[in-house]
């Protein structure tokens, strides 16, 4: 059956390439890759010789049509991005929605994903989380977005670029306060992997004071806002009334 495979690739450490992904990439007829030059290094490393075509944000609609043609011819196709799981702050959404809409099978081949890796080792609550991808680059828009999240109680996860991390931490301190707990997961699975938890203002000071923290790839996690005390207040009120009633009962 013609199938589109959505294949995760490593986010740094090549040993995170799973055997099933290697098998799929070797056996499909074509691989759509975000940056074919970048991915050809991965392919060479694993001796994968499958032809690649480029699929990035600017040609995704066009590539989606090409992949559809291949599927209609009965071919097997795979989609990868530069690193981690395609579609997660990466191209692929248009391809997957179109291919599914045309009735073809889409099969995920899961593997590395920076936000899942970061959350799993962050120590922050993982029962509910909100993945926000990249914040707006401009300060005003970034502040607005964060303001909308001020009362969000789920753990929030952001992707960040090293040259913007200081500006983003400034915005986070401004909107969430100096005491909000943050975790920065940097260079995951690589030699200089660092996972650091600090209150927002202390995090900003630490990153400012250590230039190394402004390099590499970064996931920023923010502890959700404390649940509103309302429900507890209500419980107290209910208890108070119950005890008053109890006193009046015979």
Contact (CB, 8 A) for 196 and 206:
yes
In whole angstroms, give the CA distance from residue 198 to residue 184.
9
Contact (CB, 8 A) for 225 and 152:
yes
For ligand SAM, which is the closer residue by CB, 195 or 198?
195
Q: Torsions phi, psi of 51, nearest 5?
A: -65, 150
For ligand SAM, which is the closer residue by CB, 6 or 71?
6
For ligand SAM, which is the closer residue by CB, 71 or 83?
83
Q: What is the nearest approach in angstroms of ligand SAM to the Cβ of residue 240?
A: 49
Contact (CB, 8 A) for 169 and 207:
yes
Token pair 């090409």: residue: 66
Token pair 């401009």: residue: 138
For ligand SAM, which is the closer residue by CB, 61 or 110?
110
Chain residue whose CB lies nearest ligand SAM: 84
Q: What is the nearest approach in angstroms of ligand SAM to the Cβ of residue 209?
A: 21
Q: How many CB atoms lie within 10 A of CB 190?
A: 14
In whole angstroms, give the CA distance from residue 169 to residue 205.
9
Of all residues in the chain, what percent are helix, strand and coil, respectively (each to 5)?
Answer: 45, 20, 35
Residues that bind ligand SAM (CB under 6 A): 11-12, 81, 83-85, 88-90, 113-115, 159-161, 185-190, 217-219
Q: What is the nearest approach in angstroms of ligand SAM to the Cβ of residue 20?
A: 17
Q: What is the nearest approach in angstroms of ligand SAM to the Cβ of residue 161?
A: 5
Q: What is the nearest approach in angstroms of ligand SAM to the Cβ of residue 160?
A: 5
Token pair 């400034």: residue: 170
Q: What is the nearest approach in angstroms of ligand SAM to the Cβ of residue 103?
A: 26
For ligand SAM, which is the closer residue by CB, 33 or 71?
33
For ligand SAM, which is the closer residue by CB, 22 or 75?
22
Buried b (16+ CB within 10 A) or exposed e, 44-65: eeeebebebeebbeeebeebbe
- Nearest in space to 166 (alpha carbons), one of 138, 203, 195: 203
For ligand SAM, which is the closer residue by CB, 24 or 220?
220
CA 87 to chain centre: 9
Q: What is the nearest approach in angstroms of ligand SAM to the Cβ of residue 1?
A: 27
């Amino acid at each position: 059956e013609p199938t589109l495979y959505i294949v995760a690739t490593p986010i740094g450490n090549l040993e995170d390439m799973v055997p099933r992904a290697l098998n799929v990439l070797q056996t499909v007829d074509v691989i759509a890759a975000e940056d074919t030059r970048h991915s050809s290094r991965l392919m060479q490393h694993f001796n994968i010789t499958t032809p690649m075509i480029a699929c990035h944000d600017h040609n995704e609609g066009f590539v989606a049509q090409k992949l559809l043609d291949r599927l209609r011819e009965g071919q097997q196709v795979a989609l990868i991005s530069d690193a981690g799981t395609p579609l997660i702050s990466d191209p692929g959404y248009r391809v997957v929605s179109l291919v599914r809409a045309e009735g073809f099978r889409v099969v995920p081949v899961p593997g590395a994903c920076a936000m899942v890796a970061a959350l799993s080792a962050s120590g922050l609550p993982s029962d509910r989380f909100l993945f926000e991808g990249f914040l707006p680059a401009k300060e005003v828009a970034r502040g607005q977005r964060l303001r909308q999240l001020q009362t969000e109680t789920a753990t929030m996860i952001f992707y960040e670029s090293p040259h913007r991390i200081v500006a983003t931490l400034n915005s986070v301190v401004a909107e969430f306060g100096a005491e909000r707990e943050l975790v920065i997961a940097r260079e995951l699975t690589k030699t200089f992997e660092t996972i650091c938890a600090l209150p927002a203002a202390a995090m900003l000071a630490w990153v400012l004071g250590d230039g190394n923290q402004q390099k590499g790839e970064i996931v920023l996690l923010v502890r959700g806002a404390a649940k509103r005390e309302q429900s507890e207040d209500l419980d107290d009120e209910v208890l108070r009334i119950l005890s008053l009633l109890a006193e009046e009962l015979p």
